[in-house]
Each structure stands twice: as structure tokens, then as C-alpha cells.
Structure 1
């Protein structure tokens, strides 16, 4: 009798833990992956940047520049039936060179104007910047963190190649989640038109990113919550946190990749960028910037940043 009561007690405790784990997993899915406002990021010390950077992000000349440009709206249907929006700006003078941007988490196509102005005004490129699924004017009730977006980017490339001709040359430039997106795309069979990739502040995988943030923001270990959250994500968004891996993809990459990271990045640590760089199959380079937090290398080291990406691109375009 005592043994039976003991077994019932253990079973009840295990069931309790299982219920808590499942509930926590659905909570974290809604918190980070389900489309919608993300108040938990407000006041996050890891996202604090210098006054100079904040001023550039919120009031930089690039904002008015973007608003003045005659972007053409493009639309496509994704492999899973979503209507996605993108915005195309042909160069002032005809060219076969095009940059495709990928923005960060909770951002939109407009945000990449920070870089678009340089590519357009100084390099003379055509510019294409899409709203990634779940962002901006694109459909989607979840954030793909780059995994499904990698296929969307490939589809956008094919549209642009058809639009501009078979001699089109493409560079992909991504920031944060967008950086992981272009790296996840790098492991796919890309059109030969893709000549170079620039990844600014990327993460190795969605699981690694969440594990890092779970510990840093909530002081919790990754297990058992993240494996269950990964299962929930697979059910609701058709991808798992582990399969969404930029690290696995760059091990198959054929296109040259330039990695960029701020050495004081506490949101997506530079260690992840170094790991990606060390495991990249294709030709790769890395540039890191002292004192720069997440995504602010461009502002704090503008001249060096632009010279670095230009020198890299010109090797392959």
C-alpha cells in the first residue's frame, strides 16, 4: 500500500512538472514567436545603444531619403501561401547589380534604409528590401527567425532575376535576424547570380539564441522548456528551434560571406559570429568593432564599415 501511494505521489509530481513545462512552452511561443507586440524587449539593457546610435536610428537623414524614393511595390505568394511584400528601387543608371536586404526581428523593409542609401547613392545598385514574413505588410502569424524566410528570399531572387535579366548579380545584406536569414539561405541551392553575403550580428541558431536569452533575461536553463517550446513551434509554425540553424547552413555555403559584429554585443554575442565564421565552408571574412553593441557597428564605425563591405563586395561583384 505504501509503495502504491509513493508511486501515485511521484506520478502526480511528474504530471505537475509536465503541465508546467507545456504551459511555459506555449507562453514562450506566444512571447517570442507569435506575431504581435513584444513588450518584454522594452527596457532590455542588452539592447541599449549609444546616444549617437539611437539618434541615427530615430532621426538619421536616411529616413527622409527613404521616404523620397520612388520604390515599386512587389508582391509574391510564398511556398506556404502567404502574401509577401517587397519594395524595389532601380538604380539611377542601368546596372546588373542588386542588393537584397533582410531586416531584424520586429522590424520592416523600411529599416534597411540605413544601408540602402549607401548602396544606391554611392555604389549605384538596384535596391530590394522585403518585409519578412510576419513583419510589415507581409502576411504571417508567426516570426520565422530566418528559417522559412530563407526560402522566401530565394523566391524573391528569382523574381528579381526574371525582372532584371540573367546577368543580374546579387549581394544579400542582413542585420540581426536578417543576418541569420541570409546565412540560412546560404546553405540552399542559390542561383549563380548570388555573388556575396554580408551578415551583421547573426546568431548561430534559434535554439542557441533562445537559450542565451532565457538564461540572461529570465535566469532559467534551456531544459526542459526550450525542447518543449521547439515542439510547440513545430506544431504551430512548422519549424523547430534546432532545425532553424544558420550554423548548419554555412557549413554548406558556396557563396563568399562577410561577418560583422560589435564586440560589446550582449544581445547576440560575438562568440556566435566567431563560431559561424570558423565553420563556414565558403570563402569568408570577419570584421568586429570594439565598444559596439547589437547592430550599431555601422553608426559608430561608419567609414570603416562602409570601406570593409565595399572592398569585400568588389572582389565578387
Structure 2
């Protein structure tokens, strides 16, 4: 009888352990292997919305970039050079997007006197990498991009970083935890705390205890990926950023609430500007209000990037 009880107990323990492991793997798989959008879909969307001018793109002087990530894969990008200037913007796209989504900003920055680097995050577009880490490992890739671009343009050129959604979180994590080595930063609809964002998503979409799910998933992320949700916290990172930072969000955003950007703005020490647009869903502020968006960035550059006008070269289209 005792042997039967021990056998049953052993089977039950094994079953629970297996079920726990399977659940943990399933939950973390949803994060780690989130499916990027199809390249053809992004291209068609941008062309139809007239945000991608193929004639301009084909005629623009450009350089293909292949940069080695410190995480042992290659990062693919394009250095767009419509102007004879060293001043450059690096654009970081959001999760499931690609560098094609970032090209819409290149025309705006051309008018403002900047060339532009667009690139694919790890496991997106043409870049390598097996998983998505929502800014944790991506921030080290951004560091490699910054170093490569600075080697081309020199230390005296203006270098800005513009991030959208996960790309914005990556930008802030880079500047606040790796190196504050750009001239300025623009954060569009970043989350302030990845744990809080996940809690919000789980609470609204899954009928389980969201606090337990977050804790449980975090354990498996640590085991499988070597980092925790505590490492993906832009709200803590911005406290260390000294360079000027523009925070942008749209009030109707129901995926990442605009209050998260307000938290980021409040946490950042001086040299900062905040703009909450009245229209636009998640990551749609520029798409809905392109003229006002450009005006906001122009004012930020004029007010906070002291050597902006002195560094303009190459006949910007202003």
C-alpha cells in the first residue's frame, strides 16, 4: 500500500512538474517568438499609405550596412544619404515591424537636415537573432549601430536616435543603462515598465491570475533567456539620461497607454519635452498628424539641441 502511494505521489509530482514546464515554455514562447509582420504586407501598407516613396528611395544615395551584434548575429540596415551632411538619425522600429516601417521618418529628417539609418531589430526583417527581448538584448545591438555610425560620420556630427514603441523602449534602455552617447533622443509611445505592460495585457485578455502569470513567466524568461522583466524598465533607465529627450505619445493609444510616457517624462531629469497628440492609435501619431509631428520635432531641436542650427549642412529642405 505504501509503495502504491509513493508511486502515485511520484507520478503526480512528475505530472505537475511536466505541466508546469510546458505552461512556462508556452507562455515564454509567445513572448520570445512573437511573429513579425510579413515583409510584403509592410511594403504594401506603406506604399498604399504613401509613406514609402519608391522613386525617392531608388534615387537616394544609400549604403547597405551589415553590423556584427555583440550577441553573435548580424544586424542589417541601410544608411540613407539624401544630403551632403554628417548629421544622422538612427530609427528603431517597433515589435513585429521592420526597417521598411522606419523609412517614413527619413523624408521628415531630410527636411530637418539629417541623413538616416534604418535597421532591423534582432529576429526581424533581414537581421539575425533567435528571440525578441523587448529592448534587453536589442539595446546592445543599438550600441553596435551607434558605434558603427559614429565611425562613419565622426564624433562632431549630430547623432539622434528616434524610437517607436519597442524601438523607443530600446532607445531609452540604451541611453540609460548602456551609454548615453547620442546627441539627443526621441521616444514615441514607449512602455515605461515591461512588467506593468504585460500585466495590463494579461489582465485584459486572459482569464487567469495575471500576477501569478507574470511571476511565473518571469521565472521561465530568466531560465531560458538570461534576463528578467526587471531589466526591461525604461522608467528606471531614463533617470540616468542626461542628453535632451523628446517624449511623444497619442492619447487614444489603447495598447501602451499615454500615461506610461508621462511617467517616463516625469522620471527624466531636465532637458526634456513632452507631446501628447489628441489623435492616433498606437504608434500612429506621425501617420495621423505628420505636419504637427514635424513641427514638434523642429521645436525640440531648436529649443534643446543647442548646436542644431550651427551644424546644419547640405541644404536641408526647411
Q: TM-score range by the shorter chain?
A: 0.7 to 0.9
Residue 87 of structure 2 is matched in structure 1 by 97
Q: Shift in Å at residue 80 of structure 1?
A: 2.0
- Describe the shift of the 1:201–1:58 C-alpha distance in structure 2 as closer, same or farther (beyond 3 A): farther
Q: Which moved more, 1:240-249 or 1:216-225?
A: 216-225
Question: What is the aligned counterpart of 1:152 among 138, 141, 146?
Answer: 141
Q: Which moved more, 1:55-64 or 1:261-270?
A: 55-64
Q: Tell me whether 1:88 sits opposite 2:79 in the alignment.
A: yes
Residue 107 of structure 1 is matched in structure 2 by 97
Q: Distance in 2 between matches of 1:221 and 1:70?
A: 53
Secondary structure of 2:137's aligned partner: helix
Q: Shift in Å at residue 17 of structure 1?
A: 6.7
Residue 64 of structure 2 is matched in structure 1 by 73
Residue 28 of structure 1 is matched in structure 2 by 27
CA contact (8 A) 1:32 1:38 kept: no
Secondary structure of 1:81's aligned partner: coil
Q: Distance in 2 between matches of 1:123 and 1:284?
A: 19
Q: Shift in Å at residue 58 of structure 1?
A: 4.3
- Describe the shift of the 1:225–1:58 C-alpha distance in structure 2 as closer, same or farther (beyond 3 A): farther
Q: Tell me whether 1:185 sits opposite 2:174 in the alignment.
A: yes
Q: Distance in 1 between matches of 2:132 and 2:15?
A: 30
* TM-score, normalised with respect to structure 2: 0.83
Q: Shift in Å at residue 37 of structure 1?
A: 5.3
Secondary structure of 1:88's aligned partner: strand
Residue 46 of structure 1 is matched in structure 2 by none
* Structure 1 unaligned spans of 5+: 40-53
Once the two structures are superposed, the pairs formed by residues 267-278 of structure 1 within 5 Å of their partners are 267-278=255-266
Residue 50 of structure 1 is matched in structure 2 by none
Q: Give the length in aligned residue pairs.
A: 293
CA contact (8 A) 2:68 2:144 kept: no
* Structure 2 unaligned spans of 5+: 39-43, 309-318
Question: What is the aligned counterpart of 2:130 among 141, 157, 165?
Answer: 141
- Describe the shift of the 1:19–1:242 C-alpha distance in structure 2 as closer, same or farther (beyond 3 A): farther
CA contact (8 A) 2:89 2:160 kept: yes
Question: What is the aligned counterpart of 1:163 among 152, 158, 162?
Answer: 152
Q: Shift in Å at residue 165 of structure 1?
A: 1.6
Residue 297 of structure 2 is matched in structure 1 by 309
RMSD in angstroms over aligned alpha carbons? 2.7
- Describe the shift of the 1:134–1:55 C-alpha distance in structure 2 as closer, same or farther (beyond 3 A): closer
Q: Distance in 2 between matches of 1:139 and 1:234?
A: 21
Secondary structure of 2:183's aligned partner: strand
Residue 51 of structure 1 is matched in structure 2 by none
Residue 126 of structure 1 is matched in structure 2 by 115
CA contact (8 A) 1:84 1:138 kept: yes
Question: What is the aligned counterpart of 1:233 among 221, 228, 235?
Answer: 221
- Describe the shift of the 1:271–1:219 C-alpha distance in structure 2 as closer, same or farther (beyond 3 A): farther
Secondary structure of 1:105's aligned partner: coil
Q: Distance in 1 between matches of 2:252 and 2:131?
A: 29
Q: Shift in Å at residue 183 of structure 1?
A: 0.9
Q: Distance in 2 between matches of 1:223 and 1:300?
A: 35
Once the two structures are superposed, the pairs formed by residues 271-286 of structure 1 within 5 Å of their partners are 271-286=259-274
Please give the per-residue CA displacement for 1:153-196, whole angstroms capped at 9, x wherever unaligned.
1221111111112212111101111111111112035365x111
- Describe the shift of the 1:200–1:213 C-alpha distance in structure 2 as closer, same or farther (beyond 3 A): same
Q: Shift in Å at residue 281 of structure 1?
A: 2.5
Once the two structures are superposed, the pairs formed by residues 38-49 of structure 1 within 5 Å of their partners are none
Q: Distance in 2 between matches of 1:71 and 1:206?
A: 35
